[in-house]
Structure 1
Amino acid sequence: MKIEKVETFLVPPRWLFCRVETDEGVVGWGEPVVEGRAESVRAAVHTLAEYLLGRDPLRIEDHWQVMATAGFYRGGPVLSSALAGLDQALWDIAGKTYGAPVHALLGGPVRDRVRMYAWVGGDEPGELADSIAARVEAGFTAIKMNAVGRMPARHATQSDVHGVVERVALAREVLGPGRDVAVDFHGRVGAADARRILPLIAAFQPMFAEEPVLPDRPHLLRDVVTASSVPVATGERLYSRWDFRQALEAGVAVVQPDLSHAGGISETRRIAALAEVWDAKLAPHCPLGPIALAASLQVAFATPNFLIQEHSIGIHYEEGAGLLDYVMDAGTFRFTDGYATRSDAPGLGVQIDEAAVRKAGEKGHAWRNPVWRHEDGGLAEW
């Protein structure tokens, strides 16, 4: 069996899919994307595809090594994301060829259900209580919220700090003691403010505090980690096990590689194994489409130190198109009591609606993240 064709599709609302076809008719799907830079990743996918064409798709690890390391310049979000999507597609082909789900090829399942969490916003706290209540009504036992919106200045005022505490207190009140809240700082506060804020929200027992400092400042993480008892999570903007080693050495409790950014299924498995050395848990980042979510679930079912899985169904940016619009059976992502049930469907376990993808690809998108500014006109972290 040989790889015969690699295609890419820019699909709304802000995703990129790739389709890898073999000469025996076996097709694998992947989701390589950097949100806001999808076109750049698309070009990188086709550059890497030059190597794959005509080769055996089942030599996944060898292909990963060549695509990741054979170039003199390597790594970074664009190349790692292009590699990630192609890696997902190769695993999908392997599962379909062997008639087994990817989690079986990774050593077999270690759990029957995967706990999911839902995103509820938090930039604007006015509707936060209703959003959380709706997720609870839908059966979720965990939610994630933004700790802050647009910060008025690089150093938080007393009012800003109080706003964070009020948000988390409100979430805890609605959730009660038997459910979990994760708090996402999105790199919007500085390390000094993170050290001030985390002890103040510790009483509400967050499951974790995500990205309390920017990912390019791992040297600041240890002081933030030791400032409170709140578990610290990071990783959506880290792309390799070497990146994660620094975070783990700093004491983070949860690693959050994104399977569409951090080298796909192959590298995420290695990141999870590395995290075990530091007694850290895996919670893959995934506010993306159906292929990224399917790949994340395959890893979750086969990873002992897995904690919880993010998803984007019903997320705020699904305008005009959503995750379920690109799958043949919406029941693939039906969650019961906040859990995804293990499937033995081959490959990634999701049937992509190719006609819908091709139609959406004709429209495409040019999504860009917003540019935020402080009150003084200086650039603010989004």
Structure 2
Amino acid sequence: MKITDLELFYLQPRWLFLKISTDEGICGWGEPIVEGRAHTVAAAVEEYRPVLIGADPCKIEHLVQLMYRGTYYRGGPVFMSAISGIEQALWDIKGKYYHMPIYEMLGGACRDRVRMYGHLKPAAIAGDFPVEEMLKIADQRLAEGFTAVKYSVIPPIRPLDNLEMLHAIVDRFAAVRQRVGSKVDIAVDFHGRVSSSMSIRVLKELEPYYPLFVEEPVLPENTEEMVRVARSTSIPIAAGERLFGRFGFRRLIEQQAVSVVQPDLCHCGGIFEARKIAAMAETYYMQVAPHNPLGPISLAACLQLDACIPNLLAQEHPAMPNRQDLGVGILKKPFMIESDGCIRVPTGDGLGIEVDEQAMAKLVSDGHWDTPHLFFEDGSVADW
């Protein structure tokens, strides 16, 4: 079997899909994307075309090594996201060729269902988001069966902000906790928007409300500061969506800066690379909660990983109102979140999905989407 073609599809709202075809008629799908840089990643995928065309798609590790090590400059969001989407599609092909799910080739399933956690704030909203609206979404998530939810703090937050801001952050979490009760887990994402000193202050005030975890209390580029924040609180710390490959996760894990690692399978190097990261985390008794704010192919890849790792905490899910992230209007058989807030482990070959290209054509876009830009009162740039 040989690879014969690569096709890229830009889709609303900010997705990029990849289809890899073979001479035996088997096709595989992946989701190579950096949010807001779809055209950049698409160019990187095309630059790998000479490596892939004519190659055996089942030699996944060999091809990943060739793409990763063959460019001299390694890693980073663009190269690793391109490799991630390609790798997902190769696994999809291999699973279809051998007639088994990907997780069966990675050791078999550890569970028959995957616990999901849904978002409480639309990702597109960068500024103020009334707590009343968040509480309405919380009601909806509970009605949908979710037993865990997450939202991001509202930016911009100054490096040393005032007491009013601290109270606003804590009061929002307290309101959500009161609404959902003690049986539902609530995670909160600081999104790297908060300084170390401000995070320590906020975390102290959040402790009585028992967060499931706090994500990216500081940017993961400074592991020592993440450690300092983690040592200041009893709240579990999570990070990893902006790290690339097992080498990017090494210091975070070895220095025990987090309790939960969050590889993004569209950025970290793909399904098998995330499996290696999960194994590294397991040696430090860390849990895994794969990052996923993207589309149904990304979700399908995550579910294959979730099925076969023993240290899964939960799977992130953006919970879009139109359910396109579950595959509605894209997959011939969309995923379904059941009444217990879980998705059953898919049993189909490869990724376990069948893309409806005719229906998907209605979502085709020009691929342009940009990260919102935020500013402080004095005009200086704030972190998104």
Normalised by the length of structure 1, the TM-score is 0.95
1:115-159 alpha-carbon deviations (Å, 9 max, x no partner): 00000018522312111111001110000011x212253322101
Give the structure 2 partner of residue 279 of structure 1: 285
**Equivalences for residues 344-363 of structure 1 within 5 A:** 344-361=347-364, 363=365
How many Å separate the matches in 1 of 2:232 and 2:328? 41
The Cα shift of 1:359 comes to 4.8
Q: Which residue identity is paired with 2:378?
A: D
Asked if residue 336 in structure 1 is aligned to residue 326 in structure 2, the reply is: no
**Equivalences for residues 1-382 of structure 1 within 5 A:** 1-121=1-121, 123-124=128-129, 125-146=131-152, 148-248=153-253, 249-314=255-320, 323-330=327-334, 332-361=335-364, 363-382=365-384
Please provide the CA RMSD for this pair.
1.7
Q: Which residue identity is paired with 1:170?
A: A
How many Å separate the matches in 2 of 1:319 and 1:350? 16
The Cα shift of 1:181 comes to 0.1
The Cα shift of 1:320 comes to 9.7
1:217-241 alpha-carbon deviations (Å, 9 max, x no partner): 2221111001110000001100111
Which runs of at least 4 in structure 1 moved beyond 4 Å after TM superposition?
318-323
How many Å separate the matches in 2 of 1:87 and 1:357? 22
Q: Which residue identity is paired with 1:220?
A: E
How many Å separate the matches in 1 of 2:247 and 2:229? 20
Indicate how the Cα distance of structure 1 residues 320 and 258 shifts in structure 2: closer, same or farther if over 3 A, else same.
Answer: closer
Q: 2:220, 2:239 within 8 Å by CA — same for their partners in 1?
A: yes
Indicate how the Cα distance of structure 1 residues 323 and 190 shifts in structure 2: closer, same or farther if over 3 A, else same.
Answer: farther
How many Å separate the matches in 2 of 1:168 and 1:161? 11
The Cα shift of 1:350 comes to 1.2
Give the structure 1 partner of residue 125 of structure 2: none
**More moved, 306-315 vs 364-373:** 306-315
Q: Which residue identity is paired with 2:133?
A: E
Identify unmatched segments of 5+ residues in structure 1: none
Indicate how the Cα distance of structure 1 residues 338 and 320 shifts in structure 2: closer, same or farther if over 3 A, else same.
Answer: closer
Identify unmatched segments of 5+ residues in structure 2: 123-127
How many Å separate the matches in 1 of 2:252 and 2:136? 35
In the alignment of these two chains, the number of paired residues is 377
How many Å separate the matches in 1 of 2:324 and 2:106? 36
Q: Which residue identity is paired with 1:360?
A: L
The Cα shift of 1:360 comes to 3.4
Q: 2:238, 2:261 within 8 Å by CA — same for their partners in 1?
A: yes
1:160-218 alpha-carbon deviations (Å, 9 max, x no partner): 11111111111111111111000100111101101111111011111100010012222
The Cα shift of 1:321 comes to 9.1
